[in-house]
Amino acid sequence: MRILRSLISLGLLGLATPAAAKTIPVAAGDSAQERLQEALIKAEPGDTVQLGKGVFKLTDGLSLAVDGVTLRGAGAGNDGSVLDFSGQLGAGEGLLVTSDDVLLVDFAVVNSKGDGIKSKGADRIVYHRLRVEWLAGPRESNGAYGIYPVEASDVLVDSVYVRGASDAGIYVGQSRNIIVRDSIAVENVAGIEIENSYNADVTGNIATKNTGGILVFDLPNLPQMGGRDVRVFDNIITGNMTPNFAPKGNIVASVPTGTGVLVMANRNVHVFDNVIEDHGTVNVMVIGYRYPFEDAKYDPLPRNVVVYGNQHGRAGFAPAMEGGTELAAALGGALPPMLWDGSGANIIFGDDDGAISLGLADPKAGMAAAMPTPVVPIEDARAAVPTISPVVLPAAMEAKVK
């Protein structure tokens, strides 16, 4: 047995440890598409694919399916590494990742025909110091999502910039254990969206000039439902007044222009210690899902949502929601900063800047049935709902962004 251990330790039985990690350089220039995709295919766990400075003119989407690979550029600015998909022939994403333990860092993706960077089933993925942008600004023809991790455990989105997505700039869906922090979302339909996910911290971000700043949704007919345990805190959410440019039929096409934070049909959501201001509809809205569905397992009502400790600025001066103009007139010319449709249970407002309930126990009921009443703030609002523990990601993930 001692001899066997010695042979294994020396790698003489074909059980040697993996070869030393290597760096695979890829320069911009001719045949960048083929050279970069080949590097992503040939990379082995532990390897780094290193992008050179310059613009990589690409005609098709890229894919990475090898665990433990780093794709690193020379910076996300115009003088760094820019993956330019303006000449993309297909309609897919710019970059698709389907492997675990991947780090994406220090490069830009511009003008992809579909989503900017998508990862599916990619556990322990880190998005760091990236830029995803549609350079012409808000257009319905832009890709739906900028940063788009879905169906994953342990997701870190850190210090990214996204502009122009026709659905959500930063979207995390059907995942668990998520941190989205220190990022900037500008001129998207939804700046940041957490959908059908468990355990998420959205913190330290700037969401501005979107249609809606930060969305926390739970939708029917998806493999993972029952979204819950989401904390939205220490963000700057301001001036999200870009007219909604989502394609018709998308759920975010219903987001009213001028919405700061929108919580829909989710449970155990804390919205606290944010700066939320300059929203024509409302700073914070809590509603149920009001569209037809046939999924018997889906709960369309919000529960255990608490809003407290936020700094509210101007709101309600140009409501874009159904019946909003008439409601604002009845309330003296503007809506208060916070609004609840009246559905669900244990919806708590601790901020004393003003909130109303529409009194609609059924979220499908229209504004004609609304009976607006002020919501009395609760001083110790946080204690009125279940606590949510901070999200803690694996130390190896956090080490990648130090």
Distance in Å from the first CA to the final CA of the chain: 42
The answer to whether residues 132 and 171 touch, using CB atoms and an 8 Å cutoff, is no
Torsion angle of C-alpha atoms 275, 280, 284, 290, degrees rounded to 10: -160
pLDDT for 398 equals 98
pLDDT for 5 equals 38
pLDDT for 19 equals 63
Q: Which two three-digit tokens encode residue 275?
A: 């700066």
Residue with tokens 């990648």: 400
Q: Which two three-digit tokens encode residue 402?
A: 């130090």
Q: How far is CA 65 from the centre of its chain?
A: 22
pLDDT for 18 equals 52
Q: Which two three-digit tokens encode residue 128?
A: 């760091």
* Average pLDDT for runs of 10 along the chain of length 402: 36 47 97 98 98 98 98 98 96 96 98 98 98 98 98 98 98 98 98 98 98 98 97 98 97 97 98 98 98 95 98 98 94 96 97 96 91 94 94 98 94
Q: How far is CA 234 from the centre of its chain?
A: 16
Q: Within 10 Å of residue 371's Cβ, how many Cβ atoms?
A: 9
Query: What is d(CA 118, CA 123) in angstroms, rounded to the nearest whole number?
Result: 13
pLDDT for 8 equals 32
The answer to whether residues 225 and 248 touch, using CB atoms and an 8 Å cutoff, is no
Instruction: Kindly list the domain boundaries of the chain, sorted by start residue.
Output: 21-388
As a whole number of Å, the CA-based R_g of the chain is 23
Element (H, E) at 368: none
Query: What is d(CA 169, CA 151) in angstroms, rounded to the nearest whole number?
Result: 17
Give one DSSP letter per residue of 39-72, joined into a string: HHHH--TT-EEEE-SEEEE-SS-EEE--TT-EEE
Query: What is d(CA 166, CA 189) in angstroms, rounded to the nearest whole number?
Result: 6
Query: What is d(CA 196, CA 225) in angstroms, rounded to the nearest whole number?
Result: 5
State the architecture of 21-388 in CATH terms: 3 Solenoid (2.160)
